[in-house]
Amino acid sequence: MKLQSLRGFNDILPADTAIWQHVEATAAATFAAYGYREIRTPLLEHTALFKRAIGEVTDVVEKEMFSFDDREGDNLSLRPEGTASCVRAGLEHGLLHNQQQRLWYAGPMFRHERPQAGRYRQFHQIGAEVYGVPGPDIDVEVIALSARLLRRLGLDGVQLEINSLGNSDSRARYRQALTGFLQQHAAALDTDSQRRLLSNPLRVLDSKVPATQALVADAPRITDFLDDDDRAHFDGLQQGLADLGIDFVVNPRIVRGLDYYARGVFEWTTTQLGSQGTVCAGGRYDGLVTQLGGAATPAVGWACGIERLILLMKAANVETPSQAPHAVLCTQGDAAARAAARLGESLRDALPALRLVVSAGGGKLKSQLSRADRLGAAVALVLGDAELADGVIQVKSLRNAAEPAMIAQSELPGHLGGLLHT
């Protein structure tokens, strides 16, 4: 049997980790700019957490979770999303009661879906969560944060779409009207939508089946059922976005795939990733903390799929910082080979940002230079026994036609300093 990775569980190889590290570092810096602190939760939780938080009549819980019984008989699941775990951790450790918390997370999530570009069974998300702030101004902040992150990643061709799902009373009125409309067209709905018609009719609006999408285009709009408080919150969200110059469109068909959302919801979308057009999405979920056993706590947040961000960055030819070594230290002769490790350490002491590879394993100089070139190094540093004895080293450019230079080893840190911005 040939051992391979599981379907939908992908290796991230060194050629790609540079862009992953760039995305993660950019996200961490952006969260820090808004005063958000990182939280790290386990990959494995009790299945009941996700059933209570996400909703039992959702694709995630019904079809997509990796769940199993452990040796003690507990039913556990790999986390399919990050918000439920954040709320559980906040309740367990006393972070939410009468407090405001601005949190962020990053890490792998798991859903048993059909793998496709940017959508895998193990996928990675970065997300923001804010607890204890009720007004639309915090909705505006989390959206502004996501907008800044997308800009810092070089992603300008994305569209912000917003909607309001109202509170539980608004949704109850809307659900009744929507159910009545869908029942009139039940025979034309796809099989999944027929099943959801009575159990979770709002999810029909999120159907990806073209015939169902065309049908629900004429369905009642939830924004027509908002009460005064919901309307004021949604108006405040729109005004706040306009004040910041963040363009948006109102899309009354956004319902999100998780049952805990209420009031304002949003999606950043693109046309560059085919059918998987959502890049970042979120909204308000004021009832979730109560749903999981805590006191009533306003909450809002979002999540981005890192795989989709990277696909979009590659489609847009976004340049990312290089991880190629600045220099490779090549050696000729036994004495030079022994001295190379000491020289390498002294250079790293002098230049902490220097990316330096010390050639190991010997071999002909031509082979060492070829390896240095394949690594993408800017220069090769050639140290032979004769150069070692004279206290000099040859600097050979690998990226232009500059003539090799022989310089004193003591001057090498200053000479290499100019490479640190490449």
Q: Among 251, 278, 281, which residue's Cα sits nearest to residue 161? A: 251
Q: Within this chain, do residues 25 and 68 fall inside the same structural domain, yes or no?
A: yes
Q: Within this chain, do residues 275 and 363 fall inside the same structural domain, yes or no?
A: no
Alpha carbons within 13 angstroms on the beta-carbon side of residue 363 total: 14
From 315, 346, 364, the end of a domain falls on: 315
Percent of the chain whose pLDDT exceeds 70: 97
Please tell me the least confidently modeled range out of 157-171, 247-261, 338-352: 247-261
- 8 Å CB contact between 227 and 166: yes
Query: Strand pairing partners for 128?
Result: 104, 302
Q: What average pLDDT score do residues 250-277 get? A: 80
- 8 Å CB contact between 299 and 288: yes
The residue with greater pLDDT, 154 or 362, is 154
Q: Within this chain, do residues 81 and 117 fall inside the same structural domain, yes or no?
A: yes
Q: Is residue 291 part of a domain?
A: yes
pLDDT value for 422:
57
CA distance 282 to 301: 6
Q: Is residue 213 part of a domain?
A: no
Q: Within this chain, do residues 308 and 384 fall inside the same structural domain, yes or no?
A: no
Q: Is residue 188 part of a domain?
A: no
- Express each pLDDT in 144-198 by its tens digit: 999 999 999 999 889 999 999 888 788 888 888 888 888 888 788 888 787 777 7
- Express each pLDDT in 266-287 by its tens digit: 999 998 876 668 899 999 999 8
Prediction pTM value: 0.88
- Express each pLDDT in 280-311 by its tens digit: 999 999 989 999 999 999 999 999 999 999 99
- Express each pLDDT in 99-129 by its tens digit: 999 999 999 999 998 887 777 999 999 999 9
Q: pLDDT tier at 208 (50, 70, 90 boundaries)? A: confident
The CATH number linked to 132 is 3.30.930.10
Q: Within this chain, do residues 282 and 349 fall inside the same structural domain, yes or no?
A: no
Q: Is residue 280 part of a domain?
A: yes
Q: Within this chain, do residues 288 and 264 fall inside the same structural domain, yes or no?
A: yes
The CATH number linked to 394 is 3.40.50.800
Q: Within this chain, do residues 122 and 77 fall inside the same structural domain, yes or no?
A: yes
For residue 69, pLDDT beyond 60 = yes
- Express each pLDDT in 32-62 by its tens digit: 999 999 999 999 999 999 988 887 666 677 7
From 248, 281, 315, the end of a domain falls on: 315
For residue 130, pLDDT beyond 80 = yes
Q: Is residue 180 part of a domain?
A: no
CA distance 62 to 235: 35
Please tell me the least confidently modeled range out of 6-15, 129-138, 139-148, 202-211: 202-211
Q: Within this chain, do residues 297 and 332 fall inside the same structural domain, yes or no?
A: no
Q: Within this chain, do residues 130 and 68 fall inside the same structural domain, yes or no?
A: yes
Token duo for residue 37: 């602190």
pLDDT value for 19:
94
From 288, 315, 342, the end of a domain falls on: 315
Amino acid sitting at position 13: L
21: containing domain: 14-167+227-315
Q: pLDDT tier at 257 (50, 70, 90 boundaries)? A: low
3-class SS letters over the chain:
CCCCCCCCCCCCCHHHHHHHHHHHHHHHHHHHHCCCEECCCCCEEEHHHHHHHHCCCCHHHHHHCCEEECCCCCEEEECCCCHHHHHHHHHHCCCCCCCCEEEEEEEEEECCCCCECCECCEEEEEEEEEECCCCHHHHHHHHHHHHHHHHHCCCCCCEEEEEECCCHHHHHHHHHHHHHHHHHCHHHCCHHHHHHHHHCHHHHHHCCCHHHHHHHCCCCCHHHHCCHHHHHHHHHHHHHHHHCCCCCEECCCCCCCCCCCEEEEEEEECCCCCCCCEEEEEEECCCHHHHCCCCCCCEEEEEEEHHHHHHHHHHCCCCCCCCCCCEEEEEECHHHHHHHHHHHHHHHHHCCCCCEEECCCCCCHHHHHHHHHHCCCCEEEEEEHHHHHHCEEEEEECCCCCCCEEEEHHHHHHHHHHHHHC
- 8 Å CB contact between 318 and 154: yes
pLDDT value for 265:
93
Number of domains in the chain: 2
Q: Within this chain, do residues 263 and 376 fall inside the same structural domain, yes or no?
A: no
Q: Is residue 139 part of a domain?
A: yes
Percent of the chain whose pLDDT exceeds 90: 64
For residue 229, pLDDT beyond 80 = yes
Q: Within this chain, do residues 269 and 417 fall inside the same structural domain, yes or no?
A: no
pLDDT value for 275:
63
- 8 Å CB contact between 178 and 224: no
Q: Among 293, 310, 297, 300, which residue's Cα sits nearest to residue 256? A: 300
Q: Is residue 321 part of a domain?
A: no
For residue 258, pLDDT beyond 90 = no
CA distance 183 to 293: 35
The residue with greater pLDDT, 385 or 118, is 385
Q: Is residue 206 part of a domain?
A: no
Report the mean per-residue pLDDT for the chain: 90
The residue with greater pLDDT, 348 or 206, is 348
Q: Within this chain, do residues 94 and 140 fall inside the same structural domain, yes or no?
A: yes
